[in-house]
Structure 1
Amino acid sequence: MGFSSDYRNKLVSATDAVAAVKPGDWVDYGAFCCAPETLDAALAKRQIELWDVKVRALAFPGIAAVSSEEAGNGRFIYNSWHFSGGERKSHDKGNCHFIPFVYHEGPSHYRNNIRTDVCMVRVAPMDTFGNFNFGIANSFQRAIIENARKVIVEVNENMPRCLGGAEESVHISEVDFIVESDNKALLTLPDAPVTEVDKAIATLIVEQIKDGACIQLGIGGMPNAVGKLIARSDLKNLGVHTEMLADSYLEMYEAGKITNNRKCLDKGKMVYAFALGSQKLYEFLDNNPVCASYPVDYTNSLHNILVNDRVVSINNALEVDLYGQVSSESSGYRHITGTGGQFDFAYGAYHSQGGKSFICLSSTTKDKEGKVISRIKPVFNPGTIVTLPRSITHNVVTEYGMVSLKGKSTWERAEALISIAHPDFRDELVQEAERMKIWCAANRNDEVLHMVGACA
């Protein structure tokens, strides 16, 4: 088909492409590994001639050039929907700002609430039909493009072609400029180490999973441990409907545990919105019809989550308080990540027929001085963001056990959560629960009952 001439006509240097950005513009970057690193570097070089340029990104792989101290001072104002490690460091220096949202609402913000002047997104090479595939980061790329005044694609030959699904590509007719990058390798994640605590938590969770369950895993050592245990288990006919596809799914698939044959929606398909992991995972996704890339308002839609039976949602947290509130994105005033899809899947999984949501965390951690502190707290420190309100939290798991908070009163929640806290902190937690008026003589937990007299 005759798209080669269109390609040549729209092909420009990165320097020429970013000339489309004007003072006062809103510039949107592609998400995760679709972030346009070549264009970002070119845009940062225009810092002297630009001012009040607002950039939005989502988990930029590293530190964006426009978020550096040199590019700041009112020239660029950098914002992120979900912090990567690099964006967290930029935030610590005052060079990155967070945008609160729940993941499934991302596309609607672009279609209803905010403006985009220039969209820059990294893509796979154009196919014979004139399409540039978004590769391993569908997320809400289409919504951004539909909202943008100018669209610039940055071609990277290492980007796998990830089949839809839906909204997984942009046609050359919708593109204003094409930039060929230096084909830098995509970000890969090392295999997260699995601790003994992770293994203990994973064991408790896997015991709750049934044949035919539909799995959503978060990121980190504990979800990796769950995947490894499932791969070695007797479970069968598991399905996948998730926002993030990681190597743990590949391990389960290669072990024959994932067939997707019991799913009610997208039967036979592993459904996801973005992928982060190893090069092996990216090669697995390339032109693989078993996998289906969708925008996040599809993967994280409450209806689409709950329409599958026995959905199991497994996510990490930083802290849980005695009311059952979950914090997964900040430590006091220091922002760590973002809400992401934790709320979407915690809520959706619970409403699935036979579904379960699990929030997992080690019972303790260490502060900057090396002091051991409890991750189950009476109340959160000032500035700590609540990711899940207490009314949404279902199961909470530490290495000391698993408790369900659904339908429980405040004193029942306190008793349950204290029972899975580290033993060294339980007496203190009971005292705080008494002071908070959520502990009484009706409590029957033998390990903490000796702290209690009568109802406060």
Structure 2
Amino acid sequence: MSFQEEYAQKLTTADKAVQAVKSGDWVDYGFNCGTVHDLDIALAKYIPNLKDVKVRVGIEMETPKIFDVPDAQDHFSVYSWFYTGSERHYASKRFITTVPHRFSEMPGYYRNELPPIDVAMCQVSPMDKHGYFSFGPSGAMQYSVFQRAKHIIVEVNPKLPRCLGGYQESVPISKVDAIVEMQDPYVRCMPDSKPSTEVDLAVAKQIVKMIPNGACLQLGIGGMPNTVGSLLAESDLKDLGVHTEMYVDAYVKMAERGIINGRKKNVNPGMQVYAFASGHQEMYDYLDDNASCMAMPVDYVNDPRIIGQHDNMISINNIVNIDLYGQANGESSGFRQISGAGGQLDFVLGAYLSHGGKSFLCCSSTFMDKQGKAHSRILPVLEPGSITTDTRPNTQYVVTEFGMVNLKGVSAWGRAERLISIAHPDFREQLIKAAEKQGIWRRSNKI
């Protein structure tokens, strides 16, 4: 049988395909812009007939239709790897929970820790002449998902870029049980970024000064890493490389200007290596069939031992807040989950293993609540419910608009003093009083 004949045999409608889901099943929905669309609409219509369906999602760029099913909690529950606005909005309805993880370990979770998946589905690009469907920009752990799945459905999106890679970036038609073609295809894009603030720029300028020619970059999710990327795209730096969890728009700008070429990379020289990509249409067009870009599984990309093999590895990530001990929270506001751990700790660890490597954790010194009251992001201790994404021995550079400090090898006294020095001036005295009460303030000993 030819690949085209097999394709025709497995082709079906979304409404028919989702009938493979039964009560009690574990269902995987894809990830980021690889999350299914037509199949989601079909399952939203079908799921009221079912009970106790368990759905895994991650980095939802649109709100899945199943979230709006009446009495949703009576029919299914959702397990999210990384919250976006969709999960945050619906979390109070108690049918969504987060799954703590290190992103580098997720393929291993699927292979070894999680129960087998009854139905796995995701978006793919059209089948090539060899019978393979590319996972596009969202292949980070999709191959491992399909390894444990009893029934596999692919939703073919002709506008999804075909992303090349080293391995596990695609699936052969022989492994697929059902094929659905997306009716009105489009690729989910990130919303336009807000203009960089003066605070963003103040933080970014400090970091850019620390990046040498030939460095290898990882930019995390958020405004400050995006601002760093924008400044780098306008800089005179040379021979930068990319080894990153998330591929973002700024890399395209740098590559087109010749700032990124990967010549100095110790591992995969000349290649821009990433686990998944999320950005605007121009970025997806750039990634499509681009042999200089390598989509790889996240247990390779985010492995600190691989990250650390790159000289001058530069890791830049946002945090929500940090306490005077250097414990950094990158994912929650008290008990309210707002994002996820992702690969932040992977790159914090990996960058420090790198010869000349540096890990930067960024935040504004303050934030405003809904009543317009300012609060410090540098705290005496993390608030109850806050998640320690990066433990204190792992934290290296911390940056606010008031400065940059290095906490590696620094005592509890020294950490408190250094972090207070980059807090907003309005909060420094009360932080000193808190540090005295906690027994970690001694101006005569700064080590």
Q: TM-score, normalised by structure 2?
A: 0.97
**Residue in 2 aligned with 1:451?**
none
Query: What is the rounded CA distance, in whole Å, between the counterparts of 1:24 and 1:342 in structure 2?
Result: 33
Correspondent of 1:265 among 257, 260, 267: 267
Structure 1 counterpart SS, 2:137: coil
Query: What is the rounded CA distance, in whole Å, between the counterparts of 1:4 and 1:444 in structure 2?
Result: 70
**Residue in 2 aligned with 1:439?**
441
Give the superposition deviation at 1:372: 0.5
Query: What is the rounded CA distance, in whole Å, between the counterparts of 1:141 and 1:434 in structure 2?
Result: 50
Query: What is the rounded CA distance, in whole Å, between the counterparts of 2:257 and 2:206 in structure 1?
Result: 21
* Contact 2:414/2:446 (<8 A) preserved: no
Query: What is the rounded CA distance, in whole Å, between the counterparts of 1:321 and 1:165 in structure 2?
Result: 40
Query: What is the rounded CA distance, in whole Å, between the counterparts of 1:236 and 1:410 in structure 2?
Result: 38
1:299-340 deviations in Å (ceiling 9; x for gaps): 001111011111000000100100000001000111000000
**Residue in 2 aligned with 1:330?**
332
Query: What is the rounded CA distance, in whole Å, between the counterparts of 1:408 and 1:69 in structure 2?
Result: 52
**Residue in 1 aligned with 2:242?**
240
Summarize the Cα distance change of 1:408–1:46 in structure 2 as closer, same or farther, 3 Å threshold. same
Q: Give runs of aligned pairs for residues 73-222 of structure 1, distance below 5 A.
A: 73-114=73-114, 115-189=116-190, 190-222=192-224
* Contact 1:269/1:291 (<8 A) preserved: yes
RMSD: 1.3
**Residue in 1 aligned with 2:63?**
63
**Residue in 2 aligned with 1:353?**
355
**Residue in 2 aligned with 1:21?**
21
**Residue in 1 aligned with 2:297?**
295
Q: TM-score, normalised by structure 1?
A: 0.95
**Residue in 2 aligned with 1:341?**
343
1:86-132 deviations in Å (ceiling 9; x for gaps): 12212133231101100000000111011211101111011111111
Query: What is the rounded CA distance, in whole Å, between the counterparts of 1:331 and 1:70 in structure 2?
Result: 28
The amino acid that maps onto 2:426 is D
The amino acid that maps onto 1:329 is E
Query: What is the rounded CA distance, in whole Å, between the counterparts of 1:406 and 1:393 in structure 2?
Result: 7
Moved more, 35-44 or 208-217: 35-44
* Contact 1:66/1:78 (<8 A) preserved: no
Give the superposition deviation at 1:222: 1.3
The amino acid that maps onto 1:78 is V
**Residue in 1 aligned with 2:30?**
30
The amino acid that maps onto 2:119 is V
**Residue in 2 aligned with 1:408?**
410
The amino acid that maps onto 1:424 is D
Structure 2 counterpart SS, 1:70: coil
Correspondent of 1:250 among 249, 252, 274: 252
**Residue in 1 aligned with 2:392?**
390
Number of aligned positions between the proteins: 445
Identity %: 50
Structure 2 counterpart SS, 1:357: strand
Query: What is the rounded CA distance, in whole Å, between the counterparts of 1:423 and 1:61 in structure 2?
Result: 37
Give the superposition deviation at 1:366: 0.8
**Residue in 2 aligned with 1:317?**
319
The amino acid that maps onto 1:222 is M
Structure 1 counterpart SS, 2:104: helix
Query: What is the rounded CA distance, in whole Å, between the counterparts of 2:46 and 2:189 in structure 1?
Result: 29
Give the superposition deviation at 1:69: 5.2
* Contact 2:73/2:95 (<8 A) preserved: no
The amino acid that maps onto 1:141 is Q
Moved more, 238-247 or 63-72: 63-72
* Contact 1:363/1:399 (<8 A) preserved: yes
Query: What is the rounded CA distance, in whole Å, between the counterparts of 2:255 and 2:97 in structure 1?
Result: 38
The amino acid that maps onto 2:73 is N
* Contact 2:168/2:296 (<8 A) preserved: yes
* Contact 1:415/1:443 (<8 A) preserved: no
Query: What is the rounded CA distance, in whole Å, between the counterparts of 1:77 and 1:230 in structure 2?
Result: 42
Summarize the Cα distance change of 1:195–1:125 in structure 2 as closer, same or farther, 3 Å threshold. same
**Residue in 2 aligned with 1:449?**
none
Query: What is the rounded CA distance, in whole Å, between the counterparts of 1:67 and 1:404 in structure 2?
Result: 43
Query: What is the rounded CA distance, in whole Å, between the counterparts of 1:24 and 1:382 in structure 2?
Result: 34
**Residue in 1 aligned with 2:288?**
286
* Contact 1:68/1:95 (<8 A) preserved: no
* Contact 1:61/1:187 (<8 A) preserved: yes
Give the superposition deviation at 1:444: 6.6
The amino acid that maps onto 2:39 is L
* Contact 1:131/1:169 (<8 A) preserved: yes
Give the superposition deviation at 1:184: 3.3
